[in-house]
Structure 1
Amino acid sequence: MPSVTLPKCPHHIAPSPTQLDLDFADLAIIDLSKARTPEGRAELATQLRDALRTNGFVYAINHGYTQAQRDRIFDIGDVPFTAVPPEEMEIYTNESQKLGYYAGYKARRYWAMDAENNVWDQIEHYSILRDGNERPHPQALRPFLPELDAFTRHNHFNILYLILRLIALSLELPEETLVEKHTFEGQAKTSVRFMKYYRRTEEDEEKSKHVWLKGHTDFGTVTILWSQPVSGLQILSPDGKWRWVRHIDNALVINTGDMMEFLSGGFYKSTIHRVVQPPPDQRAYDRLGTFYFVAADDDVKLLPLAHSPVLQRVGIERRCSDEEAPLAEAWRKERTSSYGRVALTKGSENNTEEEVIKGIVVKHYN
């Protein structure tokens, strides 16, 4: 067969991982290549269960993309920020507050990080919906759409579905229980997202105490982060301390969100994380991230999977009554529209702020 010639793309040069001895979280690493057999999936389901119930985050390796393929995606991921002129960016900028989902660009200074001190985010991101052809894209990105479509499908079918099957097994449910709630065709608002965290002024760093993105939970079921070397992601550990997430070459960092907490009856919590200023040896660099953000199909009612033998044994934690459980679409729209755009009230716990969505308290951690 003739070789496929890929369109040229400038190479994104990332810095070396930090050399500082930071307080890194001790996260488990699961080997997805073991999922080829029933025995391997049973082993992985137990490992994943223990990891997600301990820290809420887990590394995954051997996910089917080589280091070269991963590097190519990061090269493409930098295109929306480095190869598109500002006037064209503006054409493809959308307000998530109005849409209820992310598509195209989110501009910098859109989210209030500290309204009292007038500190706004310096994060620009570009989101590509599940169907990359659903919305037009900047000229510079169009040659790469076939590769991005393949990347989206790989995340969905080869990574997400594997994780959802393992979670179902951990709940002693049929493997396809959660897969059926995350159909590719019904995932129009699930997206690949490239995020560029830009450096901030010293004044803003002091005002925000070096926090770039407040402690929060993701609104969906599963988030897949492709590990990158500029440190900044921290998780709230079980002992109440914020710990750094270490970079591992060509690994995934996976966590659960609100919708998984609803569906699992609190067995899997929506995990709390934040982004802070990188360590001193990396502060000269901007931070490029690649994500696959996943939500359940819009028509899924976010009810606990009460028929799970595990939940029947350990009990169910509900954030609302079954009658008031929101649809996935409603939860997605409300969480997306409000994030960084509405005033928060002081929380009942120390260093927290709150908002109420669909009658449910959503916490933000300072």
Structure 2
Amino acid sequence: MPSLTLPYAEPYNPAPPPTEELDYVDLPVLDFSKTSTPKGWATLAEIAKNAMATQGFLTVINHGYTAAQTKRMFDIANIPFDHVPPEEKGRYVSNMKETGSYQGYKLPQLFHIENGVYDRKEQYSINFDVEKRSHPEALRPFLPEIEAFGKFCHFHIVHPILKLLAQGLQLPEETFVDMHDYNAVGESSIRFIKYYTRPEEEEIKTKNVWLKGHTDIGSVSVLFSQPVAGLQILSPEGHWQWARYVPNGLVINIGDMLQFLSNGFYKATVHRVVQPPPSQGGLARLGLFFFSMPDDSIVLRPVQGSPVLEKMRKEKIPSHEDNEGENAAPTAEMWRKARTASYGFVDLKKEGNVETEVINGIVVKHYN
């Protein structure tokens, strides 16, 4: 009989929230405790539809993953950074530019931010299939828990959101869920990220930006809220606002792929990471994420049969379906490989505070 004792993980003790009165964004809230009744579900569908059609972000509470489970996952998330020697990390680095995949380590000092300053972000990404590749020795005892975490996020967080968003387009609830098969070939992943502090001269050169404003590649991104401030969201009015810490809450946003599938109705909203406020100065920022993507074979053209999207098409919103030849709608695999291989590696065209590149005929913007 297998042991019920979990392997020891050194506790990760999060910092207290910032004391400053920051300009926080007011995100709509999805209370998953209301999903059990038709009335509650209908209410949540309307909230999700309006949130993702305007801000592209929302908060989820009462999602079923306990505070103790979340604390345990943050303990595990810190292991690849603080408990793996540098020489061992080097053996598990992802070759993003060649493979178009984030699986494995992305080490600091790789992405250029501005004025010769490179990022101080370290991350470790793990596929649904935790056995898809090998992992550092310190992380191996925790793979069953990591796999269970990914499965929970997929079925109990992402799937309900996809159903709510399909309902918002007056489509069958399973429309987007069917594009996210747990057993299909794809690149959905658990990701641990740690931002390290930088010298003051680098903060000045980058205007305190740690990660440029960008949209996510996939369909639904799940961030487990943590107290060190840094995430900022670009409002529809063009203002950067801070994301508020919600104990055991989730910050959810839409990525490129769902924007394409919804013909732009659901917004892949621009967000960035900046230096924490003074009350949290000198603190590293540990993040726990789940990035969901459609199956690799899904073609990223607008879904059919939605009365909401049919009305939009009359307004002629540009999408991949307007392109032909090499710029025709890509598959999910093509898009995530192209964006992953280019991010931080290609020269961007500067237009004021916006830097652009063209991928599959679509202009991709980065904000500094």
TM-score normalized with structure 1 length = 0.96
Work out the CA distance in 2 between the residues paired with 1:227 and 1:56. Answer: 17
Tell me whether 1:226 sits opposite 2:224 in the alignment. yes
Partner AA of 1:119 in structure 2? V
The residue aligned with 1:360 is: 362
Q: CA deviation digits over 1:281-337, x for unaligned, max 9?
A: 111210000111111111111111131111123336233316411111110000000
What are the Cα deviations for residues 147-174 of structure 1, in whole angstroms up to 9, with x where unaligned? 0010000000111111100100111100
Q: Is the contact made by 1:187 and 1:295 (CA closer than 8 Å) also made in structure 2?
A: no
Residues in 2 aligned to 1:164 and 1:125: alpha-carbon distance in whole angstroms: 26
**1:55 aligned partner:** 55
- Specify the alignment match of 1:283 in structure 2: 281
1:257 equivalent to 2:259? Answer no
**Selected match of 2:267 from 269, 272, 280:** 269
What is the distance in 2 between the residues matched to 1:335 and 1:344? Answer: 13
Report the counterpart of residue 341 of structure 1 in structure 2: 345
Structure-2 residue corresponding to 1:113? 113
Provide the rounded CA distance (Å) in 2 between the counterparts of 1:328 and 1:38: 33
Alignment of 1:1-366 (within 5 A): 4-114=4-114, 117-315=115-313, 317-320=317-320, 321=322, 323=324, 324-347=328-351, 350-366=352-368
**What TM-score, normalized by structure 2, do the two folds share?**
0.96
The count of aligned residue pairs is 362
Would you say the 8 A contact 1:215–1:275 is kept in 2?
Answer: yes
| Preserved CA contact (<8 Å) 2:186 2:333 | no
**Aligned equivalents of 1:168 and 1:41: distance in 2?**
13
Deviation of 1:4 after TM superposition, in Å, equals 2.2
| Deviation of the 1:21 alpha carbon | 0.1
State the one-letter code of the partner of 1:210.
N
Q: 1:187: Cα distance to partner?
A: 4.8
Q: Secondary structure at the match of 1:109?
A: coil
TM-fit CA distance, 1:188: 3.6
Q: In structure 2, how many angstroms separate the alpha carbons of the residues matched to 1:51 and 1:282?
A: 30
Q: Is contact 1:131-1:188 (8 Å) kept?
A: no
Q: Is the partner of 1:224 in helix, strand or coil?
A: strand
Structure 1: 5+ residue runs without aligned partners? none
CA contact (8 A) 2:55 2:267 kept: no
Deviation at 1:50, TM superposition (A): 1.3
| Structure 1 counterpart of 2:197, one-letter code | R
Return the alpha-carbon distance in structure 2 between the equivalents of residues 318 and 42 of structure 1: 30
Question: Counterpart of 1:36 in 2: which secondary structure?
Answer: coil
Aligned to 2:143, the other structure's residue is in SS state helix
User: Identity rate of aligned residues, in percent?
Assistant: 52
Distance 1:265 1:248, change over 3 A: same
Q: CA deviation at 1:36?
A: 2.3
The 3-state SS of whatever aligns with 1:343 is coil
Secondary structure in 2 matching 1:235: strand
Cα offset for 1:37? 3.0
Distance 1:16 1:53 in 2: 33
- Separation (CA, whole Å) in 2 of partners of 1:57 and 1:161: 16
Structure 2 residue ranges without an equivalent (≥5): none
Contact 1:32–1:60 (CA under 8 A) maintained in structure 2: yes
Contact in 1 for aligned 2:24/2:241 (Cα 8 Å): yes
Task: Give 4+ residue runs of structure 1 displaced > 4 Å after superposition.
Answer: none
Kept after mapping to 1: 8 A contact 2:323/2:361: no
* Cα distance in structure 2, aligned partners of 1:10 and 1:51: 38
Q: Distance in 1 between matches of 2:363 and 2:192?
A: 29
1:3 is displaced (CA, Å) by 8.3
- Give the Cα–Cα distance (whole angstroms) in 1 for the partners of residues 38 and 217 of structure 2: 31
State the 1:234 CA deviation.
0.2
Contact 2:94 2:101 in 1 (8 A): no
User: How far is 1:38 from its partner?
Assistant: 3.1
RMSD of aligned C-alpha atoms? Answer: 1.4
SS in 1 for 2:35: helix
